[in-house]
């Protein structure tokens, strides 16, 4: 076993490292070692903090002033709770004494009893890094796509986000069968591949500050930036043929402000039955009327949102929650809503992409209607 860890670092740096790592650590693990964080100090003045839940493994790198190299394995919750309670401008000293990690500040001494570092699961061989995505694209996946993934474990293929690497574009898609969200980012990748990444793993990339380097094999994907390395298991299921679900053309198009529509939807949906939350959208010339009624109680509401529309009168119904989550994820000020028939999926995309083919729009969402 290596000699004991002995390092010094700002409390703020250790806090940031543990904050990145914390979501990987299971709150209830099948074995105590999975509730621990593995610390390894190396000669280059880096403290490597690693946690795993067996599906994901994350290592965060924290610069330190090195006194002695070594390893430690301690309960993550106690270490996290201790560090986040300290003043950020404090300097922390960490040193290991056998299986105990001692944390000291100018005013405190804290000893955390741990396990032998040899009990921590060994690293798997990392896939070779193949492509690089800007942090901006990673953020768009999380904000515009991730919401549409299912949380139903009985449908594992729908709990993931499809990452498609094409020579000239990157595409990310998620769907739960009721709504679908697709991101399209033209770029030169000179690489091809299709990965089904667990949505919860994509969430771990939320704090990416710079470009993310990505590599994969048949079972795992690795994400790496200057601060962390994340390895996760891929979902071994076939993702639905999503392009067949997205209508290529529409007969009715409406341009509307996102926030006015969202706020109206939130108010009107209060008057729909709690179990279903059905809201009807009635289109007429330059007006989008939202309607809801709870027949069992006699409650009803309607609200008109101004829009740009010059087609025939049209009525369609939606689950208010699904439509609301799409509108929140869109984030842009002005949206294009496209319809064909009351029983066919509706398309929502940014109004600025109105002149592009649907599949070449930077972002597009599809929402299934409900029968009225």
Q: What is the mean pLDDT of residues 189-212?
A: 91
Does 346 score more than 90 pLDDT? yes
Q: What is the mean pLDDT of residues 37-59?
A: 96
Does 163 score more than 80 pLDDT? yes
Q: pLDDT value at position 1? A: 41
| Residue pLDDT, tens place only, 64-104 | 999 999 999 999 999 999 999 999 999 999 999 999 999 99
Does 124 score more than 90 pLDDT? no
Q: pLDDT value at position 334? A: 98
| Residue pLDDT, tens place only, 177-195 | 999 999 999 999 988 999 9
What is this structure's pTM? 0.92
Q: pLDDT value at position 96? A: 94
Question: How many other CB atoms are found less than 10 A from the CB of residue 321?
Answer: 15
Q: What is the mean pLDDT of residues 206-234?
A: 93
Average per-residue pLDDT in the chain?
Answer: 94
Which residue is listed with tokens 């492509």? 131
Where residue 296 falls among pLDDT bands split at 50, 70, 90?
Answer: confident
Q: pLDDT value at position 30? A: 82
Does 3 score more than 70 pLDDT? no
Q: What is the mean pLDDT of residues 146-173?
A: 95
Where residue 249 falls among pLDDT bands split at 50, 70, 90?
Answer: confident
Q: What is the mean pLDDT of residues 34-42?
A: 96
Which domains can be identified in the chain, with CATH numbers? 6-119 (3.10.150.10), 129-242 (3.10.150.10), 246-367 (3.10.150.10)
């Amino acid at each position: 076993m290596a000699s004991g860890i002995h390092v010094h670092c700002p409390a703020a740096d250790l806090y940031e490292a543990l904050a990145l790592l914390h979501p990987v650590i299971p709150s209830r693990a099948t074995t105590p070692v999975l509730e621990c964080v593995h610390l390894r100090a190396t000669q280059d003045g880096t403290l490597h903090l690693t946690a795993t839940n067996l599906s994901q493994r994350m290592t965060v790198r924290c610069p330190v002033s090195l006194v002695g190299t070594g390893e430690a394995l301690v309960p993550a919750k106690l270490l996290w709770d201790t560090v986040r309670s300290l003043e950020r401008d404090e300097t922390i000293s960490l040193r290991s004494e056998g299986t105990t990690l001692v944390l000291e500040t100018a005013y405190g001494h804290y000893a955390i009893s741990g396990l032998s570092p040899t009990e921590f699961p060994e690293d798997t061989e990392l896939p070779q890094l193949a492509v690089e995505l800007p942090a901006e694209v990673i953020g768009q996946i999380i904000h515009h796509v991730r919401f549409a993934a299912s949380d139903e474990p009985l449908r594992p293929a729908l709990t993931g986000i499809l990452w498609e690497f094409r020579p000239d574009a990157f595409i990310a898609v998620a769907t739960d069968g009721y709504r679908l969200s697709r991101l399209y980012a033209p770029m030169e990748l000179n690489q091809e591949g299709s990965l089904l990444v667990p949505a919860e793993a994509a969430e771990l990339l939320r704090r990416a500050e710079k470009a993310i380097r990505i590599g994969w094999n048949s079972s795992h994907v690795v994400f790496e930036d200057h601060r962390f390395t994340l390895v996760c298991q891929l979902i071994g299921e076939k993702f639905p043929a999503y392009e067949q679900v997205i209508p290529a053309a529409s007969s009715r198009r409406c341009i509307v402000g996102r926030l006015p529509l969202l706020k109206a939807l939130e108010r009107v949906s209060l008057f729909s039955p709690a179990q279903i939350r059905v809201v009807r959208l009635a289109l007429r010339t330059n007006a989008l009327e939202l309607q809801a009624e709870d027949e069992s109680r006699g409650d009803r509401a309607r609200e008109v949102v101004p829009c740009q529309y010059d087609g025939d009168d049209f009525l369609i119904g939606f689950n208010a929650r699904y439509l609301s989550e799409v509108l929140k994820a869109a984030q842009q000020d002005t949206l294009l809503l496209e319809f064909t028939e009351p029983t066919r999926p509706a398309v929502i995309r940014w109004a600025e992409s109105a002149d592009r083919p649907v599949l070449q729009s930077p972002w597009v969402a599809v929402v299934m209607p409900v029968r009225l």
